[in-house]
Amino acid sequence: MVQQKVAQARRKTRLVFRVAGWAAALGWLWGVPAAPAAPASGEAIVAAMTGHAEARVFTAPVHEGRTDLRQLFEGAALHENSRVITGKDGRLCMVMSPGAIVCVAPQSQFQIEQLRHTAAGLPRTADDIIRRIHLNLERGRIRVHAGAPLPTLDIRVVTPAGVIEAHGGEFVVAQGESGQWLVFTHAGELTLTPRGGEPVTLGAGNNARLTLAGERAELQTTGVPNDPARESFELCNVFFSDLEPFIEHPLDFDREGLGDYLGLNAPFQDVDDGALVTDASPTIRPAVAGAQPTLLPRAGENAPGARWGERRIWDWYNRLGVVKGVNYIPRTAVNSVEMWQEATFDPDTIDQELGWAHDVGYTSIRVQLQFAVWQADPDGFLKRVDKLLELAAKHGLRVVPVLFDDLDVAGRAPVSGPQPEPVPGEYNSQWVPSPAHAMVTDRQQWPALEKYVKDVMGRFKRDGRVLYWDLYNTAGNSGLWEESLPLLDQTFNWARSVEATQPLAVAAWKEFGSAMAARKLERSDLITFQSYDTKEAVEARLMLLQQYKRPIICSGWLMRQSGNQFDKILPLFAMGHVGWFNQGLVAGRTQLEVQQTGFRSESDPDLWQQNVLREDGTPYDRREVELIQGFQFVETPE
């Protein structure tokens, strides 16, 4: 029955986290026989990461005392006695092989005291395994998720103010103000023992506060409110539902499945160089790095299927010249379905409008593709994409295809066939996402999305008419938020496997300091963003994005009524050597010139929000066309 449930869960989630194997499996993986009396050590694998994080690890048996500070990365494997440290922007989602997920917030530090799993003989069921996860949380906050409670699961988090113990469930331990530590119990039951005090049970849905005063701590279990800021771990949130079936059936976890999920090009890499430190006894020496088989190096920048290195992406960008682009849809299409399906694909209008775009001074266009049209007619869709590339090249324009899009203004799934008429006086009223939101969160449907990505990119991966690949427009839009993060990650994995000659990018567009925005930018070859805010806000975002030390392109801007307009924004881009794509070329069925309800200007309600040309190709504002034609990067003295 257990096997049947696990098989069902795997089918449901397809590529999911499946954590490293237990005692005997680790010995087989490393080719090192375990000492009969020594407990087997688990490992903590970095499954997802943003920002800066590092670990202090032993690089020899513990009693020799040799440690080193190592940078963390996805696929890094840590063992007992490692100390994990996150910077001000560092976030981690870690898989603990004894059966838990641990999320780590920025500016946190903890030591892995024990990661153990022991059993009498070869374990046959989960009940045969005694699992221990003991952490010493020195500062910051963590979230522990360990599935259904089991008497054989021993979880302990030690803080300066007391100890939190559990047999499973889900809880948050967070440093508070002035010697306080907060505990939020989301599932299961905890035992809290304040320093110098007696243990107390805390049930699911209850909170507690430990306040350290000298050698003792006061425990408060009533009147402690929830704290959304301290309980939020956005990088990990969406992974929990996928992991739960495998946490509950630990004998079925394996390293290979986790590696598949992460899309790694090399085996997991032990940050401690393979030194096993489960036993510090000088008479029973653990294996050290020199006795381990050599691991393949982790795929670095510029390796096949890896993120482009800084020099490569700068060389690419500097060869382009100035990128002056526009987000394009023909005036005869109300959304991306109508643009791409055979019955309404309009090459004559596209030819005419791209000629206008060239005359205005644009060098590139950014175009939303549509999964639903590909799904209904793959061959015809690719032929139409090829036709658009042909027409763009005819007018000296290069194309940025956008594979996925979460924006859902119409509130319905994309469906091939006749599309509704635009709602009079409403901005972009019939825009639909790609794919449907239900597909974003249902892993059973991802094989079709994977085929789409590889089919489209595989066809044009060596095509010089493609400027770069934009994998996902406004990922998380229309209420999805972090639920889009797993598909975003997998899309990067699928796209990297194609090994296209063009770079990859996903734009940050909301909450630039969030884990999701950092995830997009850290996986992208070049830095892209969207901003429809004031000049001051755009300037602040550019300063923030410069820390990545990569070329920057603004893939979406222009909202005249908020001051986000050509004469104010283009000087920022010129000074910063930022390429750009404004929103909207020709007024048409999308009605992008109409001011959105939430952004209407009372003083100037008839001012066009977006679009640059009227339906006959004449400029809305001739001065704007002059600014586009004359735009160039400003060289600043060294």
What 3-state class would DSSP assign to 385?
Answer: helix
For the four alpha carbons of 434, 439, 443 and 447, in that order, the dihedral sign comes to negative
Provide mean pLDDT across the span 359-374: 98
pLDDT value at residue 23 = 28
Q: Work out the end-to-end distance of the chain between its first and last CA atoms, rounded to an integer number of angstroms.
A: 69
Tell whether the model's pLDDT for residue 572 goes beyond 80: yes
Domain ranges of the chain: 2-291, 323-630
pLDDT value at residue 282 = 31
pTM over 0.95: no
Q: What's domain 323-630's superfamily in CATH?
A: Glycosidases (3.20.20.80)
Q: What confidence tier does 33 reach under pLDDT thresholds 50, 70, 90?
A: very low
pLDDT value at residue 268 = 78
DSSP 275-309: ---S---SSSPPP-GGGSPPPPPPP-TTSTTSPPP
Percent of all residues in the chain with a pLDDT value above 90, rounded to a whole number: 66
376 is written with which tokens?
Answer: 């209904």
Tell whether the model's pLDDT for residue 409 goes beyond 90: yes
How many other CB atoms are there within 10 angstroms of residue 76's CB atom?
27
Provide mean pLDDT across the span 528-540: 96
Provide mean pLDDT across the span 431-453: 95
**What span, in angstroms and rounded, lies between the C-alpha atoms of 584 and 43?**
51
Tell whether the model's pLDDT for residue 22 goes beyond 80: no
Provide mean pLDDT across the span 8-25: 31
278 is written with which tokens?
Answer: 């489960």
Taking every pair of Cα atoms in the chain, the longest distance, rounded to a whole number of angstroms, is 87
Tell whether the model's pLDDT for residue 537 goes beyond 70: yes
Q: Which of 128-132, 153-157, 380-384, 493-497 has the highest mean pLDDT?
A: 380-384
What 3-state class would DSSP assign to 348?
Answer: helix
pLDDT value at residue 95 = 87
Q: What confidence tier does 257 reach under pLDDT thresholds 50, 70, 90?
A: low
**What span, in angstroms and rounded, lies between the C-alpha atoms of 579 and 503?**
15
CA 531 to chain centroid: 19
How many other CB atoms are there within 10 angstroms of residue 367's CB atom?
21
**What span, in angstroms and rounded, lies between the C-alpha atoms of 506 and 474?**
8
Nearest to 330 by CA among 540, 595, 585: 585
Tell whether the model's pLDDT for residue 280 goes beyond 60: no
Q: Work out the angle between the directed axes of helices 535-545 and 566-576 (0-180°, nearest 10).
A: 20
336 is written with which tokens?
Answer: 């991306």
**What span, in angstroms and rounded, lies between the C-alpha atoms of 339 and 515?**
34
Q: What confidence tier does 20 reach under pLDDT thresholds 50, 70, 90?
A: very low
| Residue at 521: amino acid letter | L
Tell whether the model's pLDDT for residue 588 goes beyond 80: yes
Element containing residue 327 per DSSP (H, E): strand 324-327
Percent of all residues in the chain with a pLDDT value above 70, rounded to a whole number: 82
Nearest to 327 by CA among 528, 627, 574, 498: 528
Q: Work out the angle between the directed axes of helices 2-13 and 240-247 (0-180°, nearest 10).
A: 160
| Residue at 398: amino acid letter | R
Backbone φ and ψ of 154, nearest 5° = -120, 105
**Second CATH level (architecture) for the domain 2-291:** Sandwich (2.60)
Quick: pLDDT tens for 240-250. 555 555 565 55
DSSP 582-635: EE-SB-STT-TTSPPGGG--SS-TTS-SS-SB-TTS-BS-HHHHHHHHH--PPP
143 is written with which tokens?
Answer: 């979230």
Strand partners, 35: none
Q: Let me know: does 366 contact 400? Beta carbons within 8 Å.
A: yes
For the four alpha carbons of 490, 496, 502 and 505, in that order, the dihedral sign comes to positive
Q: What angle do CA 259, 264, 266 make, to 5 degrees?
A: 100
Comparison of pLDDT for 149 and 549, the residue scoring more = 549
Q: The tokens 């526009």 sit on which residue?
A: 326
What mean pLDDT, rounded, does the chain reach? 85
Provide mean pLDDT across the span 369-386: 98
For the four alpha carbons of 587, 591, 594 and 598, in that order, the dihedral sign comes to negative
- Lowest-pLDDT range, 148-152, 479-483, 591-595? 148-152
CA atoms within 13 A on the CB side of 388: 28
Domains 2-291 and 323-630 share a fold: no
57 is written with which tokens?
Answer: 């690890």
**What span, in angstroms and rounded, lies between the C-alpha atoms of 521 and 187?**
33
435 is written with which tokens?
Answer: 């794919």
Sheet strands (E) in 79-189: 83-86, 91-96, 100-104, 109-118, 130-139, 141-145, 153-159, 162-166, 170-175, 180-187
Q: The tokens 């870690």 sit on which residue?
A: 94
**What span, in angstroms and rounded, lies between the C-alpha atoms of 261 and 201?**
37
- Lowest-pLDDT range, 217-221, 433-437, 544-548, 633-637? 633-637
pLDDT value at residue 279 = 37
567 is written with which tokens?
Answer: 């004469």
Tell whether the model's pLDDT for residue 133 goes beyond 60: yes
**What span, in angstroms and rounded, lies between the C-alpha atoms of 75 and 142?**
20
Tell whether the model's pLDDT for residue 278 goes beyond 90: no
Torsion-angle region of 549 (φ positive above 0: left; ψ -120 to 50: alpha; else: beta):
left
Tell whether the model's pLDDT for residue 451 goes beyond 70: yes
Nearest to 472 by CA among 375, 382, 556, 406: 406
354 secondary structure, DSSP code: H
Strand partners, 505: 470
| Residue at 225: amino acid letter | P
Quick: pLDDT tens for 459-478. 999 999 999 999 999 999 99
Cis ω on the peptide bond leading into residue 250 (within 30° of 0)? Answer: no
pLDDT value at residue 301 = 65
CB burial readout 298-326, b (16+ within 10 A) else e: bbeeeeeeebbeeeebeebbeeeebbbbb
Nearest to 328 by CA among 524, 555, 616, 127: 555
For the four alpha carbons of 633, 519, 460 and 346, in that order, the dihedral sign comes to negative
Quick: pLDDT tens for 166-196. 999 999 999 999 889 999 999 999 999 999 9
CA atoms within 13 A on the CB side of 562: 21
